[in-house]
Chain A
Amino acid sequence: MNNLQRVFANGKAFIPFITAGDPSIEITEQLVLQMEEAGADLIELGIPFSDPVAEGQVIQDANIRALAGGVTVDKIFDMLKNLRKTCTAPIALMTYINPVFAYGTDRFMRNCREAGVDAIIIPDLPYEEKGELMPFCLKYGISLISMIAPTSNNRICMIAKEAQGFVYCVSSMGVTGVREDISDDVKEMVKLVKTVNDIPCTIGFGISTPEQALKMAEFSDGVIVGSAIVKIVEKYGSECVPHVAEYVRMMKNTVMKCSY
């Protein structure tokens, strides 16, 4: 069993997202450890980018704080390599294509492997452009996660057939951010994926409350929560770790209630 399959081995998965370097790389390291401890099945770690076009205000602000604090791709890899001495939680990096390209795609993926990164998520790299990274992902054994959106329609089967690791189903139109209402359409997306590929499906964008997480977990394999956690980091700053851990524990316990 590779590290990504472990994500879905313990009931419905709960996947927290944080922006690396917000508020500091040291706090990020503690957050990863404590979120693992609190039951996170996969940690999604954002590498900040100056112009995150798929993000809403909350994560945009986190990107700005992290960059202002001086975090870089190198510092994030160093932190991960150190973290891997004690942390075994599966880790996915989320960033935009330019930081990967600028770093050197081969060098980036090699570092991912050395740092024990299991997967990468690149929102501005759609199916048509995945050739940009795929050869290097294969070379170093990093899963390139595919996203599908409410507008994907006729593209879902094409994307799902070639998906690796798990599929990231975007629940709502627009950018990341906490939402009051999440449409049920995503249920149909998950169904369609499963008809062509027996691959875990996770749902992200807009989820913040236990009720929403439970509802989404009922028809998927896991939920991803970003903005709600980043808000806690924003609110408590360097004191955020126990608050985030408490939230993650509560959310994991909630999605666990959901049986297959």
Chain B
Amino acid sequence: MSKGRFGEYGGQYIPETLMNAVIELEEAYNRFKNDPEFKAELDNLLRNYAGRPSPLYYAKKMTQDLGGARIYLKREDLNHTGSHKINNVLGQVLLAKCMGKTRVIAETGAGQHGVATATAAALMGMECEIFMGKEDTDRQALNVFRMKLLGAKVHVVTSGTQTLKDAVNETLREWSRRVSDTHYVLGSVMGPHPFPTIVRDFQKVIGCEVRKQLLEAEGRLPDALVACVGGGSNAIGLFYDFIDEPNVRLIGCEAAGHGIHTKKNAATITTGRVGIFHGMKSYFCQDEYGQIAPVYSISAGLDYPGVGPEHAYLHDIGRAEYVAVSDEEAVEAFEYLSRMEGIIPAIESAHAVAYAKKLAPAMRQDQILVIGLSGRGDKDVASIARYRGVEIHE
């Protein structure tokens, strides 16, 4: 079995042209991850630039309204650039800089990872190009302009389904064209080794902080963690520090779109099967001949036909549970959290809120539920308005 495995999942299924690039990346990561200077610089950026630690907020009204477990929100939405994506991006762009790269490229779905990458590139003086599916540039127009404002070049991807999967294809193609001066800032815990490990390591700060913050606030660990899963970076970031705590339930929420019994969903673990794509062995939505399925979700960030290999493994060994949340449930949760707590969540994160709404009442009042609030919802306001039949002229 090759490197970078989580059980049978993971690996490095990429063209030969890119092999030396991922090997070089792995060597650099192993060199720098324990380097005191690198760690100090990243820590400084996370603290003073991104605004970490992010608060762990006790959602009192929501707790009272649902009448079950005590609900905490891990406020990644309050990070600079508005989501957890900045954690990984600051780490990777700093690493790229240490490796002597001068240019970064990245895929983006909702635009959060693209914005974060453009931000870090501006900060660290790197050239930046972002690939985004046409469907997503249409539904997340504000983020496109935001990236351009930050000095990035945005490529509109018109191949295939014109969403996140195709943006990843195009970024991989671009990386194989120009690899010597360019680092691919992969945005989730997916792709070939070492990306699933690197991204998870840069995101695990979320769960580490939750542990510390909850021990301070409640003197104990949570009973359940709930996070949305597209590729799965915020979920693994929240879960990772608790994997060895068997009493903590780990629950990932996939996008069921119009429903898991329709073709219009992106619930990979729920409806997909094992395959090999985008550099990794994992679960994928695909047809009987292994053609990757055109998935769907209202959330551009969850609209991806695969899932990170560590999630596939956690699912198989029964350590984490994966549930599917529909568009309608997510939109209701988006509106619910806005009114209940005055917090507009990203539509991605709203999938986790929706499941927490079901789970909390079934838990005891002395139990604790933590929701990974991975991003803020400003970017989604127009599309939610459209979903509700309201026309907004931005």
Contact = CB atoms under 8 A, between A and B. Distances in A.
A102 B289 contact: yes
A2 interface: no
B1 A131 contact: yes
Given A72-B289, A73-B289, A98-B286, A126 B19 contact: yes
Given A49-B291, A50-B160, A173-B176, A101 B276 contact: yes
Given A50-B292, A99-B289, A128-B2, A149 B16 contact: yes
A97 B176 contact: no
Interface string B23-58: 000000000000000000000000000000000000
Contacts of A175: 173, 176-177
A152 B289 contact: no
Contacts of A99: 289-291
Interface in A152-170: 152-155, 159, 170
A174 B177 contact: yes
Interface stretch (B6-14, B239-247, B308-316): B6-14
Interface residues of B, number: 38
Contacts of A151: 16-21, 179
User: Considering residues B21, B159, B179, B277, which has the most beta carbons from chain A within 10 angstroms of its beta carbon?
Assistant: B277
A136 interface: no
B107 to A, nearest CB: 12
B162 to A, nearest CB: 13
A73 B14 CA distance: 22
A127 B179 contact: no
B17 A101 contact: no
A124 interface: yes
Interface residues of A, number: 41
B183 interface: no
Interface in A185-215: none
B73 to A, nearest CB: 36
Given A51-B277, A99-B290, A174-B173, A129 B21 contact: no
B53 to A, nearest CB: 38
Contacts of A54: 15, 17, 173, 176
B13 A129 contact: yes
A53 interface: yes
A175 B21 CA distance: 16
A236 interface: no
A152 B14 CA distance: 13
Contacts of B271: none
A63 to B, nearest CB: 10
Nearest to B292: A50
A150 B17 CA distance: 7
Contact of B291 (A67, A124, A159): A67
B177 A127 contact: no
Contacts of B16: 123, 126-127, 147-149, 151-152, 155, 159, 170
Contacts of A97: 13, 276
Contact of B14 (A49, A126, A159): A126
**Most chain B CB within a 10 A radius of its CB, from A50, A98, A102, A153:** A50
Interface in B158-211: 159-160, 165-166, 169, 172-173, 176-179
Nearest to B293: A50
Contact of A153 (B20, B166, B290): B20
A98 B284 contact: yes
B393 interface: no
B254 to A, nearest CB: 20
Contacts of A49: 290-291
Contacts of B261: none
Interface of B: 1-3, 11-21, 159-160, 165-166, 169, 172-173, 176-179, 274-279, 284, 286, 288-292
Interface of A: 49-51, 53-54, 56, 60, 67, 72-73, 96-103, 123-129, 131-132, 147-155, 159, 170, 173-175
16 contacts: A50-B160, A51-B169, A54-B17, A54-B173, A73-B289, A101-B274, A102-B275, A102-B289, A126-B15, A128-B12, A147-B15, A151-B18, A151-B21, A154-B20, A174-B176, A175-B173
Q: List the 6 closest pairs (A to B, CB-CB), nearest first.
A: A102-B290, A174-B177, A149-B17, A99-B290, A98-B290, A50-B291
Given A97-B13, A127-B19, A173-B178, 4 more contacts: A49-B291, A50-B160, A72-B289, A96-B277
